[in-house]
Structure 1
Amino acid sequence: MPNDIPEPQAVYTPITRSAIFIVATLASGDESAAIVRAWCADVAALVRAVGKRVPSGNLSCVVGFASDAWDTLFGTPRPAELHPFREFGPAGRRAIATPGDILLHIRADQMDLCFELATQLVGRLGGAVQVVDEVHGFRYFDMRSMVGFVDGTENPTGREAADFTMVGAEDPEFAAGSYVLVQKYLHDMQGWNALSVETQERIIGRTKLSDIELDEAVKPTSSHSSLTTLTDENGDEVKILRDNMPFGRPGSGEFGTFFIGYARSPAPIEQMLENMFVGRPPGNYDRLLDFSRAATGGLFFVPSATLLEALAERDPQASNDVVAEPSALPASAEPHYDGSLSIGSLKGTSQYE
């Protein structure tokens, strides 16, 4: 990769067996902010140090920052589309926003690698942050979600993954960065398992055993797949990259899915949430939400690995008068759709991840 193109964080990596998701809030005070900024330069070295012990373990970590935290830690310039999490839906069926300034998405084929890296990263931060949510996720049999359907079927791969997840010329100061939206869903598995397989398939929009999308003639418009597939004004599908993980504590009756979606703009993920929680048209909502409740919600920006390290030296009080020169970008970084991603230009189609 040419030197003038930022190196992205490990957003699109091979699928792993284990993951730890950590959401933390920033403690008040300049000292805490300074600790977090300095920590940004240490992340890559800690990943290398832990991962070197098991080279085949595919250990990686993605770090993201929420809107208010970005302002506090780094000031300006700031990512063009970074904003607080937007809530959708009526009371009782709502995508809620919950506290969170920093996101850690740690992945590996072994949980011990995830655990050790999480220990090192959180330990280095110390009292500068408070962990408000921690989820240990696992792959479930043949890539199944907690509700029993194959997860991630329609994820983009290869160059397409970069196309849909990596910020490009539309925001050159933050090229090779990504936006990531996370939610922790809790499932009523007793209610869900009481449904027939046919009913479950109509709710999801795919067959349960073979993972084949239902024919449009029989698939309800309220199915999860119908409401979470988008096309742009040219009829091309707009994808996001999901790396959802099941989690749970059977002894406590907790069964869940940690949703995590990466995209080059938050707009398509937010449109999917609006379709699910409000409905398309309003009222024609995702019936999976009759059995799944969103317990958390956060939106973060993932700077490139190059920028993450450089942020250690960022002065949040610095003037924002300096405008960065557009950097050279690979062809794969150019969007398939209008960089503004106007919500009005997104339409519906289908995919269950």
Structure 2
Amino acid sequence: MAREQLGICTEANLHGSYLLLNALEGHERQLRYKLARLPALIERLADHFSEAMLTSVIAIGSNFWDSLYPDARPLGLVPFPDPQNSDHELAATPIDLFIQIRSDRQDVNYIACQQVLQLLEGNIDIQDFIQGFRYLDGRNLTGFIDVTNNLNGRLKRQVALVDQELQPLLAAGSYVFVQQVIYDLKAWQQLTIVEQEAIMGMDKVSGKALDTDLLAADSHWALAQQSAKDATKMLLKQNMPFAQLKQQGNMEVSFAATAEVLEQHVLRRLAVTSEVEAPDQLINYCQFACSAAFYAPSISFLELGIGHT
């Protein structure tokens, strides 16, 4: 049975580190070999710092997949959607490799990132490196609870991981969307709490949805939250705030068992589907610095290293 990457269905952590990397041309063979070694590297560190709950996710960009693993492309893996009929620029960016490191100790994250980059040195360029952190009790920088209805237990794996019967070779992998979202906190903080709650569609303290008569169809809750009625149409979110000197926002990392679920989630928020009339109001206070699509294969697949030699 394929072994999934533990970072996909992990519990929430205190710290997150995000490496966005591009491969050097002609280095595919070396990268296949080195990526196969990365899970064992992280596992050794996780055993050594067992209290830190260290996990990782290694994901390959939609545009780079065929260069790295030409003999086994995930069904439906395509670049991040970039609809032309939307008023919002998503900054869709082809990125070759995404590596997420999460734990309850920032120093352990640093050590893990350092060792990952040492292993990949000479084969990649660093596109970006972002440090995330847990803010209050799981809130983003708007002050609202960020994710209120992720599934738990076995349902989490059902939502996030590819089924063995549908894609045997790529079983236990996951489709991944990554977005770096910059908040206009100055404009946001000038709103009253009532105005903020109307935009978010939820109570700021409890995170519960507003009463039906107060819940706007274009509120964040109505368009970005998920119905738990059908697990096949749900995704798993691992968002985490980040803050730099001149910009602050959210690293939004979403996993799903099919690429279609992730794409429909994005299109709903932009109101470019027939079922939605207006985009998520929260987007008016956001700027997207980067949006990219990936596939995170199982550890078994990475260690097998399928591809031309």
Task: Specify the TM-score bucket, using the shorter chain as the normaliser.
Answer: over 0.9
Tell me whether 277-286 or 134-143 shows the greater mean CA deviation.
277-286
Name the SS of the counterpart of 1:271 in structure 2: helix
Which structure would you say has the larger Rg? 1
Residues 175 and 257 of structure 2 are in contact (CA less than 8 Å); yes or no, is this contact kept in structure 1? yes
Q: Equivalent residue for 2:93?
A: 98
Residues 149 and 225 of structure 2 are in contact (CA less than 8 Å); yes or no, is this contact kept in structure 1? no
CA deviation map 1:331-351 (0-9, x unaligned):
xxxxxxxxxxxxxxxxxxxxx
Counterpart check, 1:256 vs 2:256: no
Counterpart-to-counterpart distance in 2, 1:287 and 1:160: 30
1:116 deviates by 0.8
Residues 57 and 108 of structure 1 are in contact (CA less than 8 Å); yes or no, is this contact kept in structure 2? yes
The 1:282–1:212 alpha-carbon spacing in structure 2 relative to 1, beyond 3 Å, is: closer
Letter in 2 for 1:20: S
Counterpart check, 1:212 vs 2:204: no
TM-score by length of 1: 0.82
Counterpart check, 1:295 vs 2:276: no
CA deviation map 1:22-53 (0-9, x unaligned):
11111101xx1122111122112211232233
Q: Equivalent residue for 2:259?
A: 266
Q: Equivalent residue for 2:113?
A: 118
Counterpart check, 1:17 vs 2:21: no
1:231 deviates by 5.6
The 1:303–1:183 alpha-carbon spacing in structure 2 relative to 1, beyond 3 Å, is: same
Residues 181 and 249 of structure 2 are in contact (CA less than 8 Å); yes or no, is this contact kept in structure 1? yes
Counterpart-to-counterpart distance in 1, 2:225 and 2:13: 24
Q: Equivalent residue for 2:175?
A: 179
Q: Equivalent residue for 1:284?
A: 278
Counterpart-to-counterpart distance in 2, 1:230 and 1:81: 22
Q: Equivalent residue for 1:143?
A: 138
Counterpart-to-counterpart distance in 2, 1:91 and 1:159: 36
Counterpart-to-counterpart distance in 1, 2:199 and 2:84: 18
1:279 deviates by 5.0
The 1:229–1:15 alpha-carbon spacing in structure 2 relative to 1, beyond 3 Å, is: closer
Counterpart-to-counterpart distance in 2, 1:229 and 1:17: 23
Q: Equivalent residue for 1:329?
A: none
Letter in 1 for 2:66: D
Q: Equivalent residue for 1:68?
A: 63
Letter in 1 for 2:174: S
Residues 188 and 292 of structure 1 are in contact (CA less than 8 Å); yes or no, is this contact kept in structure 2? yes
CA deviation map 1:148-193 (0-9, x unaligned):
1112210111011011111112222211111010000001101001
The alignment's C-alpha RMSD in Å is: 1.8
- Could you tell me which runs of 5 or more consecutive residues in structure 2 were left unpaired when the two chains were aligned: none
Q: Equivalent residue for 1:36?
A: 31
Letter in 2 for 1:289: I
The list of structure 1 runs, each at least 4 consecutive aligned residues, that deviate by more than 6 angstroms after superposition, is none
CA deviation map 1:214-241 (0-9, x unaligned):
1222100000111124569xx6363211
Counterpart-to-counterpart distance in 2, 1:230 and 1:271: 12
The aligned runs of 1:320-339 (5 Å cut-off) are: none
Letter in 1 for 2:308: P
- Could you tell me which runs of 5 or more consecutive residues in structure 1 were left unpaired when the two chains were aligned: 318-353
1:91 deviates by 6.5
The 1:269–1:172 alpha-carbon spacing in structure 2 relative to 1, beyond 3 Å, is: same
Residues 95 and 273 of structure 1 are in contact (CA less than 8 Å); yes or no, is this contact kept in structure 2? no
Counterpart-to-counterpart distance in 1, 2:2 and 2:38: 16
Q: Equivalent residue for 1:199?
A: 195
1:309 deviates by 1.0
Residues 89 and 274 of structure 1 are in contact (CA less than 8 Å); yes or no, is this contact kept in structure 2? no
Residues 224 and 280 of structure 2 are in contact (CA less than 8 Å); yes or no, is this contact kept in structure 1? no
Residues 71 and 316 of structure 1 are in contact (CA less than 8 Å); yes or no, is this contact kept in structure 2? no
Give the fraction of aligned pairs with identical amino acids, expressed as a percent: 28
CA deviation map 1:292-315 (0-9, x unaligned):
11110111111111111111xx33
The 1:315–1:211 alpha-carbon spacing in structure 2 relative to 1, beyond 3 Å, is: closer
Q: Equivalent residue for 2:155?
A: 160
CA deviation map 1:197-230 (0-9, x unaligned):
1111111111001111112221000001111245
Counterpart-to-counterpart distance in 1, 2:190 and 2:134: 24
Residues 86 and 270 of structure 2 are in contact (CA less than 8 Å); yes or no, is this contact kept in structure 1? no
